[in-house]
Amino acid sequence: MEPSERKTVFIFQKEPLVSVVITTYNRAGLLRQAIESVLNQTYNNTEIIVVDDGSTDDTEQVVKSFNSPKIQYIWTENWGGPARPRNIGIREARGEYIAFCDDDDVWFANKLERSLQVLSNGRFKIAFTDVLAIDIEGQIIAGKKSRGYYLPYLYPSKIIKRNSKRFLLNNVITLSSVIVSSDIRRELVFNEDRDFIACEDGLLWLKLNQLYDILFINETLVWYRVSNSGISNNAEKRLKLNLRLLDEVEKWQACQRSTILASKAFAILKYLLRKGNMKIGRPAQQCTSMMQSLNKGANETN
């Protein structure tokens, strides 16, 4: 991954303010790269709201070293997850659009420019882009498919239609790629139940999809950092979170139980395939057994 470079600035006739919410905890070194990538956008009318969830490292010094009037730094007592800090950032946001960037991710320089060009007609309230996976050193992870590789097949129109059943099977949105119109600020609330730590963003996208179409911008505009210790690389924890998330979604009247059960079965199948434990001729029995045992432990704290 190369450092962000300032490019030719794109000028809009009317430049709406974009509020960029970055939540962080003890990632001072990586946070610097995230902030730099936002400051170096070709679209300039931005404010950056950094919400620090009680860091004990040099996070505050890193943020203040930019000495930028665009940056607002908020320190809070440690809550233990990103939901509450993100909600604090959303409440502080003054922009006509709200975007998110995780503290270890990096935007391409034209990320906001392209997002706003697509959203300018007012047809969509929420959009997300493709991402490119990188490791902790910033190197591209070879062999990891981008969203743009398969999403056009799932959603040929590049639109996730409201209340999409397919979206339950493939919740493919990366937080750092999302931009939302502040028109739907009242619905833009991350669930602060600690049971949903690490899947609170996926839960929110599903909830918003009950109300709105979601647009996929088929361009790679974000470097998404994957950690070896992260949930995404722990297949069993990821499965338990998916089942927990689907249990919550099942409470919504708009979702049919048959759709939820199909989504759970699909999640278990993906888990078994990743683990290499799928035995030919026994998928139904294995799914049933896994669903029973993992649902039983889905509420355990990991």
- Residue 285's pLDDT is what? 53
**Where residue 278 falls among pLDDT bands split at 50, 70, 90?**
low
Please indicate whether residue 12 or residue 86 has the higher confidence score (pLDDT).
86
- Residue 300's pLDDT is what? 39
**Where residue 231 falls among pLDDT bands split at 50, 70, 90?**
low
Choose among 147, 150, 149, 157: nearest CA to 178: 147
pLDDT at 88 over 90: yes
Domain boundaries, the chain: 18-231, 234-297
- On average, the pLDDT of the chain sits at 86
- Residue 252's pLDDT is what? 84
- Residue 299's pLDDT is what? 40
Q: Which fold has domain 18-231?
A: Spore Coat Polysaccharide Biosynthesis Protein SpsA; Chain A (3.90.550)
pLDDT tens digit sequence for 232-260:
567 788 888 889 999 999 888 666 778 88
- Residue 182's pLDDT is what? 97
pLDDT at 284 over 60: no
Choose the most confident range, by mean pLDDT, from 51-60, 193-202, 218-227, 238-247: 51-60
- Residue 4's pLDDT is what? 47
**What percent of the chain shows pLDDT beyond 90?**
63
- Residue 295's pLDDT is what? 46
pLDDT at 173 over 80: yes
Mean pLDDT of 182-205: 95
b/e per residue, 197-209, with b = 16+ CB within 10 A? bbbbbbbbbbbbb
- Residue 113's pLDDT is what? 98
- Span of 44-48, 54-58, 281-285 with lowest mean pLDDT: 281-285
**Where residue 65 falls among pLDDT bands split at 50, 70, 90?**
very high
**Where residue 302 falls among pLDDT bands split at 50, 70, 90?**
very low
